[in-house]
Amino acid sequence: MLKSDWQKLPKEVQDFVWFEAQEINEHIFKKYKLKEKHIDYLENLEDEMFVKRTKVIDLPNELRNMEDSRDKDLRSLSLDLAIQIFWPLNDYLGEVDRLILRLGGKVPRPKHFRKSAAQKKSFPEHEVSSVKKALALYGDFGDLRLSAKKIIDKDGRRVGPTVNNWIKDYIHFLGAGYHNSLQRSKYLAKAKNVKILSETERESLRFVLTSYDDNLEIEFYKSAGILEASEHKAISKKAEEKVVNIDTIIAQLKQDIANIDKELLPNDFILSEADNEIYKVRNILWQAVGLQDKSKVLSCLKVLLEKKSLDIMINEDSRFHNILKRFVGIRYDRATENWFDNNQDKLLARRLFLEMILIDKLKLNKTDATLRALYLTNLVPGSGQIVYLDELDGRLKWRDIELTNNQLSWAQPI
Give domain status of residue 110, yes or no: no
Q: In this predicted model, what pLDDT tens digit does every residue of 262-278 receive, in sequence order?
A: 888 899 999 999 999 99
Do 206 and 279 fall within a single domain?
A: no
Give domain status of residue 117, yes or no: no
Q: How many domains does the chain have?
A: 3
Distances, alpha carbon 201 to alpha carbons 30, 188, 195, 229, in Å: 31, 11, 10, 9
Do 325 and 375 fall within a single domain?
A: yes
Do 265 and 311 fall within a single domain?
A: yes
Do 210 and 272 fall within a single domain?
A: no
Range name among 20-29, 36-45, 96-105, 310-319 with the lowest pLDDT average: 20-29
- The parent domain of residue 16 ranges over 3-102
Rounded to whole angstroms, the Cα distance separating 412 from 233 reads 31
Residue 292: pLDDT band by 50, 70, 90 thresholds?
A: confident
Range name among 74-88, 248-262, 284-298, 332-346 with the lowest pLDDT average: 332-346
Do 257 and 400 fall within a single domain?
A: yes
195 vs 8, which has greater pLDDT?
195
**pLDDT of amino acid 186:** 92
105 vs 16, which has greater pLDDT?
105
Give domain status of residue 111, yes or no: no
156: left (phi over 0), alpha (psi -120 to 50) or beta: left
Mean pLDDT for the stretch of residues 49-59: 91
Q: Mark 212-222 as b/e (b = at least 16 C-beta within 10 Å).
A: bbeeebbbbbe
| Position 158 pLDDT exceeds 70 | yes
Rounded to whole angstroms, the Cα distance separating 342 from 359 reads 25
Do 337 and 288 fall within a single domain?
A: yes
Give domain status of residue 116, yes or no: no
Give the helix ranges, DSSP H, for 175-293.
Answer: 181-190, 199-214, 237-243, 246-263, 267-273, 281-291
What's the whole-model pTM score? 0.49
Cβ(385)–Cβ(377) under 8 Å? yes
| Position 187 pLDDT exceeds 60 | yes
Do 90 and 216 fall within a single domain?
A: no
251 vs 403, which has greater pLDDT?
251
Do 94 and 45 fall within a single domain?
A: yes
| Position 405 pLDDT exceeds 80 | no
Do 221 and 289 fall within a single domain?
A: no
- Report for 13-17, 142-146, 223-227: range of highest mean pLDDT: 142-146
Rounded to whole angstroms, the Cα distance separating 220 from 126 reads 6
Q: In this predicted model, what pLDDT tens digit does every residue of 65-90 receive, in sequence order?
A: 988 888 888 999 999 999 999 999 98
Q: Positive or negative, the Cα torsion across 280, 281, 282, 285?
A: positive
Q: Point out the domain boundary residue: 180, 200, 231.
A: 231
Rounded to whole angstroms, the Cα distance separating 24 from 405 reads 31
Give domain status of residue 113, yes or no: no
DSSP secondary structure code for residue 195 in this structure: G
Do 275 and 162 fall within a single domain?
A: no
Do 167 and 86 fall within a single domain?
A: no
Rounded (10°) CA dihedral 151, 152, 157, 159: -20
Give domain status of residue 121, yes or no: no
**pLDDT of amino acid 224:** 56
Do 282 and 388 fall within a single domain?
A: yes
**pLDDT of amino acid 85:** 92
Give domain status of residue 177, yes or no: yes
Rounded to whole angstroms, the Cα distance separating 224 from 365 reads 8
Q: How many CB atoms lie within 10 A of CB 67?
A: 11
Give domain status of residue 201, yes or no: yes
**pLDDT of amino acid 86:** 92
